[in-house]
Chain A
Amino acid sequence: MFDLTVIGGGPGGYTAAFKASRLGMKVALVEAFKIGGVCLQAGCIPYKALLESARVSGLVRNAGEFGVDASMNGIDFSRMMSRKNKVVERLEKGLAFLVENNKVAYFDGLASLAGLGKVRVKNLKNREEQTIETKDIIIATGSKPKFIQAFAADGKKILYSDHIVALAEAPASIAILGGGPIGVETATLMRALGSSVVILEAAPRIMINEDEEISFELKKQLEKKGITIEVEAKVAEADKKDTGVTVDYTDSGGDRRSVDADCLLVAIGREGLTNGLGLETAGVGTEHGYIKVNVSMRTTASDIYAIGDVAGPPLLAHKASAEAIVAVETIAGRDTAPVDMLKIPHCTYCEPQVASIGLTEAQAAGEQRKIKTGRFSFKINGKALCESDEIGFIKIIADKDTDEILGVHMIGGEVTELIQECAEAMYAESTLEELKMAVHAHPTRSEALKEAALDADGESVMK
């Protein structure tokens, strides 16, 4: 009899299992594929490892500017992939070690709910089945690409992101359906590999969840790299041919057009991995394709919790692990605070990078409050100039009356690291004042954040 059984070994699931074990619970962790989940096997980590190759290739291409004699002879695809695999393997080993170290009972198989306090596990290799008895259950099965019949992936001509990280060679050309984070990250990678890239986005701008100014700056910068971006493009169908794929769409002007490419990446969103779990019989309700939970991550069935992607957006690894802590502490009867979705940083590792937290200016303005905004460009930041990487800016939105930091939006080099200062500031409920007054080291990109905060009050001395 286990105290807790966790279904799914991604960042949500393994964090829950380790935490519960630390709190003295007897824990089972069931994973159908490999530990680490999408994050480690096909998402965050492999993508970032590959994008790092793209970044280094950019540096080499620019080496002359730094007085470094080097020539760019392209990226060796297989070496790039094997480096990525090594990174994944190392992290996977680390997780396996932690499973052991935390005395978590690991079950290799597909789990489903089998009545009150019961989880059935079916091993996918030997087809053996067993039933685990448990007091509490956490579902952390993650998400999968949204399925649309017309764009069903075949792994060759029509791909999902899982296929990208497993490609054998770079396509000469790729069309990308969807200008969200996965779309622009893939575009960045493929362009660095020398592919010709077209992004087709149905919305009026790419990265629709980001602040408008960020979307426009990113579009401009991606286009400078030679990536073609069509917004308000309504894609009707993808025609698979021997040589590749033809994507028909209606452009923003209403004209019918088409793109030919070696392959098409479908990156139009994801949905919760809820089927096959036996949710309905267990009384676990769903909503918009995700499991319905309360702030303590409890589902509509008592003793069953859900966390991570399967519990709804934002679909981010750190959101999954934050929710894991809330769920486990709730189960342990400890005091815990719900995850505040407005204080979760969002990082996209395209080039230039995009990072944000909180409300966009449009969202903040839509609320009944007075706001002020500050901006600061990396063009006048010493560190950015030292790096010959002066693209981008920081924008900060604050409440005029209380100085509450409502949102911070960044585009440019290293901003995915920089955003963390804002996450901590917002968590601690620091205000604009603290960002303004805390001493920021020189020369760093973080100085641009301080100046943006000062600029919100018209006090930047550098502008």
Chain B
Amino acid sequence: MTDIIMPKLSDTMEEGKVLKWLKAVGDEVKKGEKIVEIETDKADMEVEAFDSGILGKIVVKEGETAPVGSAIAMLGEVEEVKEVEEVKEVEEVKEIKEVKEVKEVKEAGRPGQVKASPLAKNVAARLGVDIAGIAGTGPGGRITKEDVEAVVKAGPAVGKPVKGGDIEEMSAMRKAIAKTVTKSKTEIPHFYLTVAVEMDKAAAFKEEERKRGREDVKITYTHIITRAVVETIKTHPIVNSFYIDGRIVRNKNINIGILVAIEGGILIPVIKECERLSLKQVAKISNDVVQRARSGRLSAGELTGGTFTISNVGMLDVEHFQAIIDPPQSAILAVGSIKKRPVVDESGGIKAALVMNMTLSIDHRVLDGEPAARFLNEIRDRLMEPEGLA
């Protein structure tokens, strides 16, 4: 009997919710076959079986949540299935014991233990309240049951609705976004550089490439910008690294995340190993993952492993904006709309040109202003002379 565990489907995933079991107990399961639908903080995904066998027992029922790495079902040989019930009992006892031991060790080893009555702790655990943040009113400042209940009753300290409003739970995805951007903005010292790029040549290049390419590969500005970024990273590899605990982790591959707005949130599908891809290959992969991101059919692997991110909201008619870095990456490029704007030409006259603003957000711990500016300028130069990006 082998456990089917809750897979880690994204970098930030800590737990997943079983939406639907695609197999029933007793069903035969083949390796690679989809067996369960899981809701994660990023998206709903279908999970495949790693082994073949008979689905012996479902541990986590539909609608229930389980932490990453915990058993959600058991897969067995045909004969094993009969024994499942007995096995379960023994294992449950073991599990309870293990959990208890961990709890004891934790409590004993905690120096600044929270002063709370045993009952308050029980009630807090039941209501899902973090007891550490509660002010105690009991003897000696102890947290009492009433204190816990008062916190729950009062609701969140800030953001109580004004009269007539109400409170709504955030989706798992929104919570994940909230967590990520908060972590980024509180931990990463961002700075920002903006340049204007004349895009007339890039526009012409795009049309040419489109004509040259097969009908089914539609090339967009995002693809051309991606190519420009990838080529520039090759000469500024530091931008492609992670900052982790005071150390720079240099990445070999250039994996570009493309920010996609979907209903109720955003997804960042990642195009892996861009250093090896032509413009057409980038376009093909990009079009595919973006489309599947919108229809919610991405695999976990396609949402992880990015080393640099591009956020293009040009289609929304935004002049320029500053994006928040997706940790542990060091930079993100924010691309505004491409529009005809007046430009002074070499002879001092005014001409109309297609102009696009792009803003680079950089982690100052990794890169200073001067090299960052050179990196950004080089991207601009490549976009203005796009021939080499094919």
Contacts and interface: CB of A to CB of B under 8 A. Distances in A.
A433 B123 CA distance: 14
A428 interface: yes
A401 B119 contact: no
A389 interface: no
B126 A429 contact: no
B126 A404 contact: no
B357 interface: no
B145 interface: yes
Contacts of A295: none
Interface string B123-144: 1001000000000011100001
A430 B145 contact: no
Contact of A430 (B117, B126, B138): B117
B123 A402 contact: yes
B36 to A, nearest CB: 30
Interface residues of A, number: 11
- Chain B at the A interface: mostly helix, strand, loop or mixed? helix
A434 to B, nearest CB: 6
16 contacts: A337-B138, A337-B139, A401-B126, A402-B119, A402-B122, A402-B145, A403-B119, A404-B145, A428-B118, A428-B139, A429-B118, A429-B119, A429-B138, A431-B118, A433-B118, A434-B118
A404 B119 CA distance: 6
A429 B145 contact: yes
Given A337-B137, A404-B145, A428 B117 contact: yes
Contacts of A402: 119, 122-123, 126, 145
B310 interface: no
B107 to A, nearest CB: 13
A403 B122 contact: yes
Nearest to B117: A429
B387 to A, nearest CB: 71
Contacts of A429: 117-120, 138, 144-145
Contacts of B118: 403, 428-431, 433-434
A272 B64 CA distance: 57
A400 to B, nearest CB: 11
Interface in A126-143: none
Interface in A325-352: 337
A401 B122 CA distance: 9
A402 B120 CA distance: 9
A433 B144 CA distance: 16
A430 B116 CA distance: 10
Contacts of B138: 337, 429
Interface string A303-338: 000000000000000000000000000000000010
Contacts of A434: 118
A418 to B, nearest CB: 21
Interface string A392-414: 00000000011110000000000
Contacts of A430: 117-119
A431 B119 contact: yes
Nearest to A426: B119
Of the listed residues A404, A429, A433, the one surrounded by the most CB atoms of chain B closer than 10 A to its CB is A429
Interface in B162-183: none
Given A403-B122, A431-B122, 10 more contacts: A402-B123, A402-B126, A404-B119, A404-B145, A429-B119, A429-B120, A429-B138, A430-B117, A430-B119, A431-B119
Nearest to A403: B122
A429 B122 CA distance: 10
Nearest to A434: B118
Nearest to A427: B139
